[in-house]
Structure 1
Amino acid sequence: MLRASQCLNSGNKLDSYVLVYLIRACTNLGHYFFGQQLHCHVLLSGFGSNVFVSTALVNFYVKFDLVTYAHKLFDEIPVPSVVSWNSLILGYVHSGQFRKALDSFLQLERSIIWSDSFSLTAALSASGQLSLLRLGKCLHSKIVKLGVECSLFVDNCLIDMYGKCGSVDDAIQMFHGMDNKDTITWNSVIAACARNQRLGQALSFLHNMPNPDTISYNEMINGIAQFGNIKDAIEILSTMPNSNSSSRNSVVTRYVNRGQAGEALDVFSKMHSSDVTMDQFTFSILLSDTKQKWIPFFQ
């Protein structure tokens, strides 16, 4: 990166390939200041209309959560490629601006450019976050028509979307229709069931999962703590190979929300003694609810 900076300051002309490489390096390494220098060089050298260079810059600003500025750059691209569109849509998804992501996707659909699996999965993610089941099903139909439904990544996104939209049966149907499954597949269907009060089915999937990981147990524990018997969540927690703060925080939070301060303190004391960290949100809930009752744990 130092040599690149020296080259840039020397006044030597850089071609589009070198510029794209340097911008991507800044993006991956988090070098914001040097990336801005490259952007100035792009503007001065006339490469602003180059779709590859401009798309790399859109990715760069998305990386630093400057999606509004990335969108302005995108609008200046004479003929955006599908990669340009995907960079913008994914930028909105990653920043939590799901409606803007869908607005951009719909603009892509109206353009002369064909959406691809990345565009569609980004739109699926936004649909799931907004619980737009009808739109999610329309996207599923389009995926089938384009013939990309056999992709493991796409199928996992469909399970996740159906689960977040509350359509558990569709999520389970997707799961059973898949020839290949990975850890994300299993975790997605467990989450779909657990988050929609289908605890028995979630537990069945967990027991049948080849190698459950921390996420698998956390989804199950959180679902039971929220909709079932908290003691069952604690039992699973006790059998979890590597319990973490997220697992225990779910139990503590549910106890507090149900007005069971004593039980919450008991779980907290075990966390405190085993050096498991509690996040700030759960810590503040416990403090506000139990007030002076937990002071002895620090004495």
Structure 2
Amino acid sequence: MTQNGYQPTLLLANRLLLMYVSCGRLDSAHQLFDKMLLKDSIIWATMIVGHFDNGEHVETLTLFKLIQEQCGLLEDASMWGLIVDCVLRACIQTGDFELGTQIHGLVLKMDKRIFNKGGGCSDDLFIGSLLINFIGKLGCISSARCIFDKVELRDTVVWTNMIVVYSREEHFKEVLEVFKEMGRSGSEKNNFTLSSVIRACGRMGDGRGGRQVHCNAIKLGIEWDQFVQCSLVDMYGKCGMVKDARKLFEMARGYEKRTNNLCWNAMLTGYAQNGFYNEAIKFLYEMQSNGVQPPESLLNQVRIDCGN
């Protein structure tokens, strides 16, 4: 509202809000926002996206709750997708899983009301990927899989998120099944995809499958990614292929001046779990000389293994 009591047009108000949030002037944006009698979906989205981009995750959720109180479900599909994208990310950042679950229910409602014609929110790669990740963190694997199945056109992120969810919940057989399906679809794989699948091979003791994924990493040129490196060392160690694990560890050291601490821990675990106790003790001294301190839980396990 201006000093003369005139209500600015929505277009002008949105431009002012956009300017304020782009400059990080959230206090000024709120002053204008609170005085506005009419608020359309673009204005709500501007406020929510602006707060999220400025790291104001709690305020992002507060604004979303305010939408529900004052407007209910927005009719603008494009703005709804943008809002849900930011709000779900804010839920993950704040750990507000209760609200995230409610948003999942709202998305299903919006699918029926708005998105049935010409594709839906469940077909949106960003929203679908976020929902898979979020619902997966709740441990609701079947719900995450339902969302995954609804996404008709899947990109690398959607495939990888489903693989990560299965891996996190230790459903390693399903990890390999989705990975094979991903290969048949022709989708590109990234470092997170391969590191999760390699981890699954290690937990299943599937050294042969792990080697095949290792070949994938070489073909894609991501063999020396730190996530892939650590997963490979861990996998070879868990499959009893300690020499291969050590060879890869040394190659990683030659490639990187400072090897990731997780690689050191994985190599130490491989020695201890496979009965190479002398090598494990020597490796502990090697870690110490390189300024690497293993976690206390791992040290205790090595002491137990070597003592036995």
Q: Same fold (TM over 0.5)?
A: yes
Could you state the TM-score of these two structures normalised by the residue count of structure 1? 0.72
Instruction: Structure 1: give runs of 5+ residues left out of the alignment.
Output: 231-299
Corresponding residue for residue 164 of structure 2: 90
Q: For 1:201, give the aligned amino acid.
A: E
Distance in 1 between residues matched to 2:193 and 2:234, nearest whole Å: 16
Corresponding residue for residue 41 of structure 1: 106
Q: Deviations over 1:8-67 (max 9, x none)?
A: 342344432221111122233232332233223323142222121111111110010101
Choose from 169, 176, 186 the match for 1:112.
186
Q: For 2:92, give the aligned amino acid.
A: T
Distance in 1 between residues matched to 2:297 and 2:102, nearest whole Å: 44
CA drift of 1:218 comes to 4.2
Identity score, percent? 26
Q: State whether residues 194 and 219 of structure 1, in contact with CA within 8 Å, keep that contact through their aligned partners in structure 2.
A: no
Q: Deviations over 1:220-267 (max 9, x none)?
A: 5424523x445xxxxxxxxxxxxxxxxxxxxxxxxxxxxxxxxxxxxx
Distance in 2 between residues matched to 1:170 and 1:121, nearest whole Å: 17
Q: For 1:150, give the aligned amino acid.
A: W
Matched, 1:222 2:301: yes
Q: Deviations over 1:162-188 (max 9, x none)?
A: 011110000000111113202112111
Q: 1:190 to 1:108 in 2, by over 3 A?
A: same
Corresponding residue for residue 62 of structure 2: 2
Corresponding residue for residue 50 of structure 1: 124
Q: State whether residues 183 and 212 of structure 1, in contact with CA within 8 Å, keep that contact through their aligned partners in structure 2.
A: yes
Corresponding residue for residue 201 of structure 1: 279
Distance in 1 between residues matched to 2:105 and 2:297, nearest whole Å: 46
CA drift of 1:96 comes to 1.2
- Between 1:187-196 and 1:109-118, the stretch displaced more is 109-118
Q: State whether residues 167 and 196 of structure 2, in contact with CA within 8 Å, keep that contact through their aligned partners in structure 1.
A: yes
Matched, 1:189 2:291: no
Q: Deviations over 1:85-113 (max 9, x none)?
A: 11111101111111111111111111131
Matched, 1:150 2:224: yes
Corresponding residue for residue 30 of structure 1: 95
Q: State whether residues 197 and 223 of structure 1, in contact with CA within 8 Å, keep that contact through their aligned partners in structure 2.
A: no
Distance in 1 between residues matched to 2:190 and 2:183, nearest whole Å: 11
Distance in 1 between residues matched to 2:202 and 2:260, nearest whole Å: 20
Corresponding residue for residue 76 of structure 1: 150
Distance in 1 between residues matched to 2:143 and 2:103, nearest whole Å: 16
CA RMSD of aligned residues (A): 1.7
Corresponding residue for residue 82 of structure 2: 17
Distance in 1 between residues matched to 2:122 and 2:230, nearest whole Å: 37
Corresponding residue for residue 203 of structure 2: 129
Distance in 1 between residues matched to 2:229 and 2:189, nearest whole Å: 17
Q: For 2:277, give the aligned amino acid.
A: L
Q: State whether residues 128 and 165 of structure 1, in contact with CA within 8 Å, keep that contact through their aligned partners in structure 2.
A: yes
Distance in 2 between residues matched to 1:31 and 1:136, nearest whole Å: 36
Q: For 1:26, give the aligned amino acid.
A: C
Structure 1's consecutive aligned runs of 4 or more residues displaced over 3 angstroms after TM superposition are 11-15, 217-221
Q: State whether residues 159 and 182 of structure 2, in contact with CA within 8 Å, keep that contact through their aligned partners in structure 1.
A: yes
Distance in 1 between residues matched to 2:294 and 2:282, nearest whole Å: 17
Distance in 2 between residues matched to 1:38 and 1:218, nearest whole Å: 38
Distance in 2 between residues matched to 1:221 and 1:15, nearest whole Å: 51
Choose from 276, 288, 291 the match for 1:211.
291
CA drift of 1:72 comes to 0.7
Corresponding residue for residue 159 of structure 1: 233
Aligned residues: 228
What secondary structure does 1:177 align onto? helix
Distance in 2 between residues matched to 1:36 and 1:208, nearest whole Å: 48
Q: State whether residues 176 and 200 of structure 2, in contact with CA within 8 Å, keep that contact through their aligned partners in structure 1.
A: yes
Q: For 1:219, give the aligned amino acid.
A: L
